[in-house]
Amino acid sequence: MNPRNSLAAGVLVLAAAGAVFAQAPPKPYQAKSSSTFSYGSKDGSETVEITNVAYELAGDSIPGRPPNSRLALRTTTQSTQVIGDKGVEASVTMEAWPLGVDFQRKPLYSVKVAGVGAQTLDGALWVADRGVDPDVAWWSVYKLGTGEHLLDTYVDLLKFSISREEWKQRYVGLEVPPDDTRDARLKDPRVVTVLTYASAEKVIREVVVTCDDRKRAVELRSYADSTRTLVLTERAPGQPAIRISFSRNYPSTPNAASVSIPVVKDELDLTHAELPAGFHVAAFRR
């Protein structure tokens, strides 16, 4: 290389480096949002409208974000409730900005869904409470770094680490497809539920649980008539398994059933799943 060219390249590198160091730090800014409560009465009906706004600073190791970067978060929950009526009209909006970016600018992402609130989990996920209907408890889980949807669950989200030596968190949800689901495969009356096994970055495996007895499958799939639970168990020391339990609600006979799926090397071992007679599990992909 010509020494003059080399020197010129060095000058350019130094000049570029100098430009980086010369960049002005982000300008200070302040965000303000109003939380409000409004009561009204008309034609004998009482109505309450509530808006709540919360801010949060997310950590510096968010999956899907550059190392050492942070996010400023804003959660806005809006609800309208007619006193005496069942349920509530509500929405929750989740927004994120890179720290240092004024909130007047467009957010990195914005997610708005029907729901009554949202919170962050493990510095990696948004969990939105979708329970606008008191008879149906369910949650939608989103990636904190990108706002992408990860999974839905109709039981409390199960979380655990697959390693005793280091933190490798995994999340498990249980979806009960509604009758009006857009996925034709899930309209099959033998389908009972769909289990999702995921990391904070991606869905690792989905599993559909079916029952040959169509009447029983419909009963166990019912939101109002059945209860589902999801727990982590051990078949033997160091051999975790995910157990799904189903039971009919009182006054019906419980007609309980339990499905156990081992977790082996960060995968679900469907071959060695323990199933009641007439039940089946199979890999499922959206």
d(CA 97, CA 108): 5
Look-up: residue for tokens 């968190």? 169
State the pLDDT at residue 135.
84
Comparing 4-8, 106-110, 177-181, 270-274, the range with the smallest average pLDDT is 4-8
State the pLDDT at residue 198.
98
Give the DSSP H/E element, type plus range, for residue 22. helix 3-22
List the Cα angle 59/123/177 in 5-degree steps. 155
pLDDT in tens, 128-158: 999 888 888 999 999 999 999 999 999 999 9
Neighbours of 179 (CB within 10 A): 10
d(CA 285, CA 209): 13
Give the DSSP H/E element, type plus range, for residue 214. helix 214-221
Residue 249 has pLDDT above 70, yes or no: yes
Residue ranges with strand state E in the chain: 36-42, 45-58, 71-82, 89-98, 109-114, 117-121, 125-129, 139-143, 149-153, 158-161, 169-175, 191-198, 203-211, 226-236, 239-248, 257-264, 267-268, 279-284
- Radius of gyration in angstroms for the set of CA atoms belonging to the chain, rounded to a whole number: 25
d(CA 231, CA 193): 15
Q: How confident is the model at residue 43 (pLDDT cuts 50, 70, 90)?
A: confident
d(CA 27, CA 261): 52
State the pLDDT at residue 86.
82
Tell me the average pLDDT of the chain.
89
Entry pTM: 0.87
The secondary structure of residue 270, as a DSSP letter, is G
